A and B are shown apart, each in its own frame.
Chain A
Amino acid sequence: MTVDLDRQLRDYASHVTEVSPAVEIEALLTETADALPPLALRSRPRRAAALVAAAFIVVVIGGLALGYRFLVSDIEPVVTQPSSTLPTPTTAPPAPETTLPGASTTVPAPTTTLAAVPPMTWKPAPPQAALGAGDDQRAYMMHTVISSEGRLIAAGSIYSTDESSDGGTAAIWMSENGVDWELMPIEGSDLDVDAAIYDLAVGDFGYLAVGEVFDGLVGRPAVWISSDLVSWTQVQSEAFQELGAMQDVAAGERGIVTVGSGSVWLSEDGWTWQQVLDSPSRFFADVVATNRGFAAAGWREESVTGDAGPYLDITPHLFVSEDGWEWENIELPQDASWFGAQAQSIVIEGDDILVAGNYRSRRYTYFDMHPAFWASDDRVNWDVRHLAPTNVPELRDESADLIELVATGRGPVAVGRWLQYGVGPPGPQFQPGKAIPAVWGAPGNQNWAEVIPRVFGIETFDGGRTTAGFDGAVAIDGKVVAVATQEGRATVWIGEWTD
């Protein structure tokens, strides 16, 4: 018997809705009695392209974060045993949480934002086809940039802006000088799927890209390897089955570590992977390889009941590991004026550790985030600095979002954006969010300040995956090259010192 498709769909849908469990409204309201005030699910925008897919939801996500945390509070950390190809952990099973003795603050010293420091000029690479110029059908998103053998390699994604078309592809760019870019022909390789690359690494394995493969609105973590930047092979692993994304990668003598939100994956050679951590309370934003193993910047979240009710306590953290398996928590100190902070990026040179992130200036909001910096040479004593809340005239309720920290030889430079979150209901009443790319610097590691004037333009979220603002940066040949996605085009800005 052949039954028409409409009838099949109706009957099947009827069955599915019958077995679909309903939300118990009364229980939900009881639950909210314990719920926390709205707070954003903070994540590095480059790591969450889908987050900006509906810019208005940026506001919404804040409100959801807490509810979601309650709903998933029963998630247990995933701890998997090492494969035979990986070094045996010193103790098994891995991933116990240990917190080192409290760190101390030595110099809380807020600075101003109005000085023209660092003395740099920034110019954009000219519009060109490789970056999306002239292509009105697709959006070009550049999420990260690294240097290798004197060349710049950038990565991200390209997707169709045609509503009726599905998906896009990951993208790799290469440049000899930062000005002229080539879009690598990855058609037919494993990168030619609806995916995004958020970070790159180079090593004995060749080139390694990490990110996510989209499956509709959700994504799954993914790793690709190439020897020539053109032919890419996606690594298949049972460790990549959960929803999520790999947001950062570090390769060192002790292996390769990738991180994404609360997850950590480890590999010896890039081809065999184990998920060593899936924490609901720890968030890894940036990971680097060190001469002692690995270090990551991030934060921890914990619900706390204060005098005015419950709230989400966010504490900035440095996570360190000698072998990639066991991670120690080092809580970074906070200034007395802060209400939580997130460490977003880390640079280590020898014993010197520099961490950048954002602190919250009011407890019950997520709008007021401002730049914060930590420096130490022993992991115990920290020089903590922050910038006072800044008025950005072009924005309402501006919030800073430092993304990437770069050591330049002329002092560190941090790139990111100023954000104004979208508000209102979908439709004509919605007031879209806006963003301004931003750069901060600290010549001699002292006196952090923003580059003024801001020359990078301002952008309204377009409702697509576009993220306005710098997503990555690298220092090369005495310059800083920062990448962004602006107006649906990959953009590259080159900063040079003027003194």
Chain B
Amino acid sequence: MPMLTEATREEAFTAFAREVEPRIRHALIPICGVEGAKDATADALLYGWQHWERLSGMDNPAGYLYRVGRTTASRARRRKAGFPSVPNPQLPWVEPGLPAALGRLSPKQRTVVWLVHGLGWPQVEVADLLGLSPPTVQTHARRGMAKLRAHLGGTS
């Protein structure tokens, strides 16, 4: 790898970070909550900046940083993880119990359901970020949605 000047290095990392930051943060919300996701993403990006030379040579740097964030979230004393309540005036058709029901899913099911059904990510992209195979993502999504329906009393 050619030597980069500090300015070039910063430009390259900044462009990368702007691209992946929302994806990593959104994917971490089911694990560590809205505020915790920001902190964990910041930790992950900080690590990415400190190890940019190695990270930039990876096939899936976003997936790597997601795992970094997930692990720091599990190690660190984050704020209590949880989904925010449903804003009733804006979303009256959303079950108020949905955040709690999501919280009762296993972490993997919760994350997969969140990304696939909530944010509409392609299963391949979810598999890529989470380090799972697409069939495994499909399994988690199916089981997670079944549990979610059960928790919500059969809402379909």
Contact = CB atoms under 8 A, between A and B. Distances in A.
> Of A166, A167, A217, which is in contact with the most chain B CB atoms at under 10 Å from its CB?
A217
Contacts of A8: 93-95, 98, 155
Contact of B21 (A4, A22, A244): A22
B45 A217 contact: no
Nearest to A219: B74
B67 A54 contact: yes
Interface string A16-34: 1101111101101101100
Interface string A163-186: 110110000000000000000000
A116 B2 CA distance: 49
B25 A23 contact: yes
Contacts of A9: 98, 113-114, 117-118
Interface residues of B, number: 78
Given A20-B29, A68-B43, A216 B113 contact: no
28 contacts: A3-B94, A7-B93, A9-B98, A9-B114, A9-B118, A10-B117, A10-B118, A13-B119, A16-B29, A22-B38, A29-B49, A32-B49, A35-B50, A41-B75, A50-B75, A61-B72, A63-B51, A64-B43, A64-B47, A64-B72, A215-B81, A218-B73, A243-B77, A243-B80, A425-B60, A425-B63, A425-B64, A426-B60
Contacts of A1: 93
Contact of A32 (B38, B46, B59): B46
Interface string B99-117: 1000000111010011001
A434 B87 CA distance: 49
A164 B139 contact: yes
A23 B21 contact: yes
A48 B107 CA distance: 18
Interface residues of A, number: 63
Given A41-B75, A217-B107, A60 B49 contact: no
Given A63-B50, A425-B64, A25 B21 contact: yes
Given A29-B14, A216-B110, A57 B21 contact: no
B124 interface: no
B64 to A, nearest CB: 5
B94 A25 contact: no
Contacts of A15: 86-87, 90-91
Contacts of A67: 42-43, 46-47, 50
A50 B74 contact: yes
Given A13-B118, A72-B76, A166-B106, A216 B81 contact: yes
Task: Please list the 9 inter-chain residue pairs (A to B) with the smallest Cβ-Cβ separation, ordered nearest first.
Answer: A13-B118, A67-B46, A216-B107, A217-B74, A57-B71, A3-B93, A425-B58, A166-B106, A9-B118
Interface string B22-53: 10011001011011011101111111011100
A68 B76 contact: yes
Interface of A: 1-13, 15-17, 19-23, 25-26, 28-29, 31-32, 35, 37-38, 41, 48, 50-51, 53-54, 56-57, 60-61, 63-64, 67-68, 71-72, 75, 163-164, 166-167, 215-219, 242-244, 425-427, 429
B98 A242 contact: no
A217 B152 contact: no
A25 B90 CA distance: 31
A17 B10 contact: no
> Of A5, A72, A164, which is in contact with the most chain B CB atoms at under 10 Å from its CB?
A5
B110 to A, nearest CB: 7
B52 to A, nearest CB: 11
Contacts of A38: 50-51
Nearest to A17: B26
Given A19-B84, A31-B46, 9 more contacts: A7-B93, A9-B117, A16-B29, A19-B34, A23-B17, A28-B49, A41-B75, A64-B43, A64-B44
A22 B22 contact: yes
B71 A61 contact: yes
B72 A12 contact: no
A71 B149 contact: no
A32 B148 contact: no
B156 to A, nearest CB: 6
> Of A16, A25, A48, which is in contact with the most chain B CB atoms at under 10 Å from its CB?
A16
A11 B74 contact: no
Contacts of A5: 117, 145, 148-149, 152, 155-156
Contacts of A57: 67-68, 71
A61 B46 contact: no
> Of A5, A11, A23, A243, which is in contact with the most chain B CB atoms at under 10 Å from its CB?
A23
A16 B34 contact: yes
A61 B46 CA distance: 12
A198 B149 CA distance: 37
Nearest to A425: B58
A8 B22 CA distance: 21
Contacts of A219: 74
B49 to A, nearest CB: 5
B76 A217 contact: no
Contacts of B42: 23, 28, 67, 71
B97 to A, nearest CB: 11
> Of B71, B81, B106, B114, which is in contact with the most chain A CB atoms at under 10 Å from its CB?
B71
